[in-house]
Amino acid sequence: MTDVQFTPRVFSGIKPSGGLTLGNYLGAIKRWVAMQDEATENIYCAVDMHAVTVWQDPAALRQGTREIAAGLLAAGIDPGRSILFNQSRVHQHAELAWVFNCVARVGWMTRMTQFKDKAGANSEKASLGLYAYPSLMAADILLYHGTHVPVGEDQKQHVELTRDIAAKFNHDYGVDFFPLTQPVIEGPGTRVMNLRDGSKKMSKSGDSDMERINMLDDADTIAKKFKKAKTDPAPLPETVDGLTDRAEAKNLVDIYAGLTDQTAEAVIADYAGAGWGTFKPALADLAVSKLAPVSDEMKRLLNDPAEIDRTLEQGADKARDIAAPILDRTYEIVGFLSS
Ligand code: TYM
């Protein structure tokens, strides 16, 4: 039985826990902006309910949510063409997540590498929300019948789990109601690594600020962070194959490629044999030239929080128009009596 035609619809989200990083920008936001020119409906969300799976100071959460919104607007998300809102304003996310908590299996959650990374050795003390997080993420996407989810590499497993939840729901209830969502993980910036340790991803919650570039860093800070970025002593190789087993070198080449919309091959063709004394300042200049306009605009937008809040509220109204009938139909399929 087919309930719906699945028209292409993009959904993606960012957690407002700490500021935006270059990883968020290259792995997700840049792609989101570009997808506005493709023939899809686009829905982008500051996922504040995900943020509270670990402790958040309430004032910092409010500020972080506005900062995500400002970052997305500054990078080119156009609220006239995309829906932009914060998750908690649309209560249907939590309601669908509950249904999915009853569809997903405990074993599926236990296999999620991000839970293992975040909860660490102390998983008994982690919040129940952190454990159930991927089920809420599946609800975020499927509440809109999202067909495409542009994310960085680290979210691939969660999008695959979203497919498993959709398939099990459809199978258990004998419907074809939820689409099998595709992750969209493309380009050289899908896994930006920590500047001090190329085996770890760049993250907003890492221990040292020197390991990441924040979207609000000023030019001097960006230059200093790239200058101090860990590398090996060898110059850049003649071909990309020469970057194998050189995680830090590969990361800086990938960042350069992501910022210029080039392949790593093209960057190596330009810089083959160059030393770090040449490449690092070029990378820092490039990063400043690409990020400064975005961060300047972000700061301008953040001066008017009421305007950001209005934009998010209007986005939530549009999101609810799509979400409500999908949740209503889900409740009907499940057998909940409703008016
Ligand atoms: P979050 O907030 O950790 O990251 C937001 C987006 O940025 C990407 N990203 C990176 N990409 C490349 N290199 C990096 N170092 C890097 N760090 C972050 C992430 O892959 C992501 O695309 N669970 C999600 C938020 C979420 C979501 C959703 C995403 C909640 N519901 C529904 C898509 C669809 C998260 O924690 O992302």
Query: What is the distance between the alpha carbons of residues 37 and 40, in angstroms, rounded to a whole number?
Result: 8
Distance 105 CA to ligand 1 centre (A): 23
183 lines ligand 1 (CB under 6 A): no
Per-residue pLDDT tens over the stretch 272-320: 999 999 999 999 999 999 999 999 999 999 999 999 999 999 999 999 9
Whether 201 is a known active-site residue: answer yes
Q: Assign domain 91-186 to its CATH architecture.
A: 3-Layer(aba) Sandwich (3.40)
Half-sphere exposure of 278 (CA within 13 A, CB side): 9
Query: What is the distance between the alpha carbons of residues 90 and 108, in angstroms, rounded to a whole number?
Result: 26
- Percent pLDDT > 90 in the chain is 91
CA 151 to ligand 1: nearest atom: 22
17 lines ligand 1 (CB under 6 A): no
Nearest alpha carbon, ligand 1 atom 36: 15
- The CA–CA distances, whole Å, from 200 to 40, 43, 177, 206, 305 equal 33, 29, 38, 10, 34
pLDDT at 207: 83
pLDDT at 1: 39
pLDDT at 3: 47
Q: Assign domain 209-300 to its CATH architecture.
A: Orthogonal Bundle (1.10)
Pair of tokens at residue 175:
């419907």
Mean pLDDT (whole number) for 201-225: 93
Mean pLDDT score of the chain = 95
User: Which residues are CB-contacts of 186 (< 8 A; sequence separation ≥ 6)?
Assistant: 31, 150
pLDDT at 4: 54
Ordered alpha helix ranges (H), the chain: 22-24, 30-35, 48-51, 58-75, 92-103, 106-110, 113-119, 128-142, 156-173, 219-228, 247-260, 264-271, 276-302, 305-334
pLDDT at 259: 97
pLDDT at 2: 44
User: Where do the domains of the chain lie?
Assistant: 91-186, 209-300
Which is more confident, 332 or 119? 332
